[in-house]
Amino acid sequence: MVLTIDIGNTRTKGAVYEYDAMVDYFVTTETQWQKKVSEILEKYPKIEDLVVASVGKTQEAAVEIFRGRVKIHFISHENRFPFVNKYATPHTLGIDRMVLAAGSVLKFPKQNRLVIDAGTCITYDYTDADDQYLGGAISPGIKLRYEALHSYTARLPLLQKEIPDDAIGDSTASAIHSGVVNGAVNEIDGFIDNCRKRWPNFIIILTGGDSEFLAKQLKNTIFANSNFLLESLHLIFQFGLDDQ
C-alpha cells in the first residue's frame, strides 16, 4: 500500500492506495497533518511507501519523523519525470505543476493535455502528445481574489465564495461575487479557447480545491478530478522514482 501526501499552501491532502484503487482520503491543516498521517499509518499497517510533494512551508525534517515506519519518497526536480521539460527556467517550475503534468502524461498517453489546478493559485500546464511540457500560466485563485479586493481597498468586505445569480450585480456583495467568480470562469474558458487556436484537440483536466465549484460554470468540456494531484503522485510512484 502507498500513502500519497500533497502539502499545499493552505491545506494538506492525502490518499491511501492499494494497487490502483484509492481506499482512503483526508484533508487536514498545516498544524495537524502529522497527527493525521500517524493515524493513517496505524489504520493501514500495510503501507510501506510515503510519497510526498510539498509547495508549502513544511520542511523535509517534519516528514522524516515517519522514516522508521515507511520508506519516504520526496518528489523533487531531481526525480525522473515522464516528459521532456521545455520550460525556459526548469528549476523554477513548481513541483505541484510537474506532478500534475506527469500525471496527465501517464493517465492520458499519446494525447495533448491541459491541466488546470484551481487552488490557492490557478495554474495551467500543457503537455503535448509527444510528452513535451511546454509551459502554462499562473494567476490568483478565487480565495486570493476575494482577499485582494478586501485587503487593498478601504471599504470592500471580505466575502466567502458564492456562485453569482447574475453577471450584473445589484449590490456590492453581488458585484464582488460576479467579478471574482465570473472573472475566474471567463479567464479559464478564455485560456482554453486560446490554446485551441494552436492545438485543436486536447484533453482538459480540472483539479484543485475549487474544481467542483467551477466545473459547472465552464462552457468547455472538462475532466474534473479534485484529487488529481494525489492520483498523479501514485502514478509517478508506479512509473518509478530515482530515489537517492
Least confident interval from 52-56, 88-92, 136-140, 176-180: 52-56
Q: Would you give the distance in Å from CA 216 to the centre of its chain?
A: 18
pLDDT tens profile 179-206: 999 999 999 999 999 999 999 899 999 9
- pLDDT tens column, 25-37: 999 987 888 999 9
Whether the pTM exceeds 0.85: the reply is yes
Most confident of 27-31, 59-63, 144-148, 218-222: 144-148
| Catalytic site includes residue 131 | no
Higher-confidence residue of 86 and 243: namely 86
pLDDT at 193: 95
Q: Which domains does the chain have, with CATH numbers?
A: 2-74 (3.30.420.40), 84-233 (3.30.420.40)
More confident residue, 56 or 116: 116
Residue 18 has pLDDT above 50, yes or no: yes
Q: Which position among 6, 20, 49, 96 bears the catalytic label?
A: 96
In this prediction, residue 7 has a pLDDT band, given cuts at 50, 70 and 90, of confident
pLDDT beyond 90 at 10: no
pLDDT, position 13: 93
Alpha-carbon span 90 to 99, nearest angstrom: 13
Judged against a pLDDT cut of 70, whether residue 53 lies above it is answered with: yes
What is the 3-state secondary structure of the chain? CEEEEEECCCCEEEEEEECCEEEEEEEECCCCHHHHHHHHHHHCCCCCEEEEEECCCCCHHHHHHHCCCCEEEECCCCCCCCCEECCCCHHHCCHHHHHHHHHHHHHCCCCCEEEEEECCEEEEEEECCCCEEEEEEEEECHHHHHHHHHHCCCCCCCCCCCCCCCCCCCCHHHHHHHHHHHHHHHHHHHHHHHHHHHCCCCEEEEECCCHHHHHCCCCCCCEECCCHHHHHHHHHHHHCCCCC
Confidence of residue 244 (pLDDT cuts 50, 70, 90): very low
Q: Tell me, what's the pLDDT at 56?
A: 63
Q: How far apart are CA 51 and CA 99, in angstroms?
A: 11
Which residues 6+ apart lie within 8 Å of 36 measured at CB?
Answer: 12, 14, 26, 28
Please state, rounded to an integer, the average pLDDT across all residues of the chain. Answer: 93
Residue burial 113-128, b: 16+ Cβ < 10 Å; e: rest:
bbbbbbbbbbbbbbbb
Question: β-strands 223-224, 121-127: how paired?
Answer: unpaired
Confidence category of residue 170, pLDDT binned at 50, 70, 90? very high
The C-alpha atoms of residue 152 and residue 158 are separated, in whole angstroms, by: 11
Q: Check if the beta carbon of residue 70 is closer than 8 Å to that of residue 16.
A: no
